[in-house]
């Protein structure tokens, strides 16, 4: 094919890919709301753990101060962590005026508390902290507004819905899009090499979906916990925006999905005679360096944890690609000179 014919083939493949993406996007519009709830689950879970841990740390610190002062403890400091983790509650320290409590009890249960004398109220300016009852109120973690992502613009929720639908469309259309990509590649191959496209296509889709699933189910949680730990150590509360989180959700799985194509690309290049298994092994140090650099670029968090979680699997996939080249050696092409 001439250069102009290659450009025409590229234009055709791109148009068909965009058309497939548009159809997937239309389907995604029907389930976009469910997708928004689903993609928030790792963030919500990490925020719940963050604020539960923060509440436990503050409560234990307060209880130690109370114990050091020789006062009665409103809760057992040795059991508060297990209690919070088991019941998913956030403790809040509060101070109650005993006179106000007695007054409310007398009004609610006059037959039981009508004989209880209420001390004369003191001037609020003379009221001391030691005159109040110190206790903890327990709030369900799921009801805390801090564990939900925020929208700071009236149009932001609509755009999130559109982006979530686009994400669904990309996943649904990924087999067809990969088919168009490999079809464009096949246009420049010898007839005996074109069969590799049909063999590699299903594996390409599987690797892409496996990479995206790895990012969502195995990378998000440890990366969020790692990043939140810095906020907790610095005493900075987290107030994430849904648009920023969705950007993270979009980029990281796509980066993992594309990068997981590595062993397949290596095998393909070996099959068409560009590289050999020996070439891959002799340059493995350079390849690992490139993998770490690309991992740093493809992970949007900018933290070393997410970079390592991508670089380590890619390094293993690189050597897996070498093994594939060894197990499935290239057959000499009749078109080779």
Per-residue pLDDT of 106-144, as tens digits, reads 888 877 777 777 766 656 666 676 677 777 788 888 888
Give the residue, 172 or 132, on which the prediction is more confident.
172
What angle do the packed helices 156-186 and 195-214 form, to 10 degrees?
A: 150
Q: How far is CA 1 from CA 7, 192, 272, in A?
A: 10, 16, 17
Write down the pLDDT at residue 335.
47
Do residues 192 and 335 make contact, with C-beta atoms less than 8 angstroms apart?
yes
CA-CA distance, 179 to 200, in Å (whole number)? 10
pLDDT band per the 50, 70, 90 thresholds, residue 22: very high
Annotate the chain with three-state secondary structure.
CCHHHHHHHHHHHHHHHHHHHHHHHHHHCCCHHHHHHHHHHHHHHHHHHHHHHHHHHHHHHHHHHHHHCCCCCCCCCCCHHHHHHHHCEEEEEEEECHHHHHHHHHHHCHHHHCCCCCCCCCCCCCCCHHHCEEEEEEEEHHHCHHHCCECCCCCHHHHHHHHHHHHHHHHHHHHHHHHHHHHHHHCCCCCCCCHHHHHHHHHHHHHHHHHHHHHHHHHHHHHHHHHHHHHHHHCCCCCCEHHHHHHHHHHHHHHHHHHCCHHHHHHHHHHCCCCCHHHHHHCHHHHHHHHHHHHHHHCCCCCHHHHHHHHHHHHHHHHHHHHHHHHCCCCCCCCCC
Write down the pLDDT at residue 121.
60
CA-CA distance, 50 to 230, in Å (whole number)? 11
Percent of the chain with pLDDT over 70: 89
For the chain, the distance separating the N- and C-terminal CA atoms, rounded to the nearest angstrom, is: 20
Q: Is the pLDDT of residue 334 over 60?
A: no
Q: Is the pLDDT of residue 278 over 50?
A: yes
Choice among 46-50, 123-127, 166-170, 258-262 with the minimum mean pLDDT: 123-127
Average pLDDT in the chain: 80
Q: Is the pLDDT of residue 289 over 80?
A: yes
Write down the pLDDT at residue 302.
63
Q: Is the pTM of this model over 0.75?
A: no
Give the residue, 229 or 130, on which the prediction is more confident.
229
């Amino acid at each position: 094919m001439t250069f102009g014919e290659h450009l025409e083939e590229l234009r055709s493949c791109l148009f068909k890919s965009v058309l497939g993406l548009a159809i997937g996007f239309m389907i995604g519009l029907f389930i976009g709301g469910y997708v928004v709830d689903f993609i928030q689950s790792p963030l919500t879970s990490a925020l719940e753990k963050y604020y539960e841990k923060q509440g436990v740390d503050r409560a234990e610190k307060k209880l130690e101060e109370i114990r050091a002062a020789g006062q009665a403890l409103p809760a057992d400091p040795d059991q508060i962590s297990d209690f919070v983790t088991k019941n998913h509650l956030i403790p809040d320290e509060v101070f109650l005026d005993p006179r106000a409590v007695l007054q409310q009890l007398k009004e609610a249960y006059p037959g039981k508390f009508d004989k209880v004398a209420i001390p004369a109220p003191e001037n609020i300016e003379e009221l001391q902290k030691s005159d109040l009852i110190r206790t903890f109120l327990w709030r369900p973690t799921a009801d805390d507004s801090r564990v939900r992502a925020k929208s700071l613009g009236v149009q932001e929720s609509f755009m999130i819905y559109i982006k979530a639908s686009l994400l669904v469309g990309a996943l649904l259309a990924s087999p067809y899009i990969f088919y168009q990509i490999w079809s464009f590649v096949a246009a420049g191959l010898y007839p005996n090499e074109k069969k590799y496209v049909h063999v590699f296509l299903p594996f390409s889709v599987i690797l892409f979906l496996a990479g995206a699933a790895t990012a969502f189910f195995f990378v998000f949680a440890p990366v969020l916990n790692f990043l939140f730990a810095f906020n907790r150590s610095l005493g900075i509360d987290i107030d994430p925006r849904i648009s920023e989180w969705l950007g993270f959700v979009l980029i990281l799985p796509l980066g993992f999905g594309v990068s997981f194509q590595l062993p397949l690309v290596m095998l393909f290049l070996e099959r068409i005679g560009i590289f050999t298994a020996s070439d891959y092994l002799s340059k493995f140090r350079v390849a690992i360096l490139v993998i770490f650099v690309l991992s740093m670029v493809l992970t949007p968090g900018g933290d070393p944890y997410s970079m390592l979680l991508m670089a380590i699997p890619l390094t293993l996939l690189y050597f897996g690609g070498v093994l594939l080249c060894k197990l499935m050696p290239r057959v000499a092409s009749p078109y080779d000179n």
